[in-house]
A = this chain, B = another copy of it.
Amino acid sequence: MNAGSDAQKIKNDVVTAGRILIKRGICEAFGHVSARLPGDEFFVITPKASMIFVEGPEDLVTVNLKGERVEGQNQQPLETWLHTCIYRKRPDVGGIARTHSFTTSAFSILEEPVRPVHDFGAILLGETPVFPDSHLIENEKIGTRLADFIGPMGTAALLRGNGTAILGKDVIEATIRAVYLEESAMLQYKALKIGQPIYFTVNETRERGTQLLEAAHIYRAWEYYKKCSL
């Protein structure tokens, strides 16, 4: 596969990712998803309008690492800086989901991290902390602060009163992490209401998360959620 067909596949995956996140209510009127293009200097992102209106790759916007639109007829989202600043700092990251999943939002306004309690939640590889600033990530300064907060190894952050940012090596991994972060939060929350959940240990999280991140498992989940989104 050459760079051109790679780019085309990536764009198609972003369109599918948008459908999955909309279908599951993880994004509604707001929220978007992006993926880095081959060559590392550009990324594609869903446009300013709700992702429910994305019909194909032609609706996406291509942005450079200065945060400038370089291709696409639609406007880029106000919070493009969330993506730009993370891609700059984290060369290992190839996809980002910026969601408003509901139970994670509850943890965010409690300033409590989401912590793995089950197999699928281990895919985050550790706990997901709360970035305490409720502002939109709409300029370079706050975008850089968020990227610093996530750090060199983080996989996601809750944004207080304002959803989540979730990272992956590609948009498929970011999307499945977005789905399972919410499921993990739901399960932790459900258990907390009637007792004390047994959190996964660091070793348990690493072992189970690494296994689930193998391509065969991730694609299995991706194919399932894709099918559900049709």
The residues of A with any CB-CB pair to B shorter than 8 Å are: 28-30, 48-50, 52-53, 100, 102-103, 105-106, 108-112, 117-120, 134-136, 160-163, 186-187, 189-198, 200, 204, 208, 211, 220-221, 223-225, 227-228
B223 touches A161 (CB 8 A): no
Which of A100, A163, A224 has the largest count of B CB atoms less than 10 A from its CB? A224
User: What is the distance, in angstroms, from A45's C-beta to the closest C-beta of chain B?
Assistant: 16
| Shortest Cβ distance from residue A127 to the other chain B in the assembled complex, whole angstroms | 15
Residue of B nearest to A161 (CB): B118
So how many copies of this chain end up in the complex? 4
The distance in angstroms between the C-alpha atoms of A204 and B161, with both chains bound, is 11
For the complex, what is the distance from the CA of A223 to the CA of B49, rounded to whole Å? 9
- List chain B residues, Cβ under 8 A from A49: 220, 223
In the complex, are the beta carbons of A224 and B29 less than 8 A apart? yes
Q: Do residues B110 and A196 form an inter-chain contact, with CB atoms below 8 A?
A: yes
A195 to B70, CA, bound (A): 45
Bound state CA distance, A88 and B211, in angstroms?
28
Chain B residues with Cβ under 8 A from A189's Cβ? 190, 194
Min distance, Cβ A90 to any Cβ of chain B, angstroms: 25
Task: State which of B110, B195, B208, B227 has its C-beta within 8 Å of the C-beta of A198.
Answer: B110
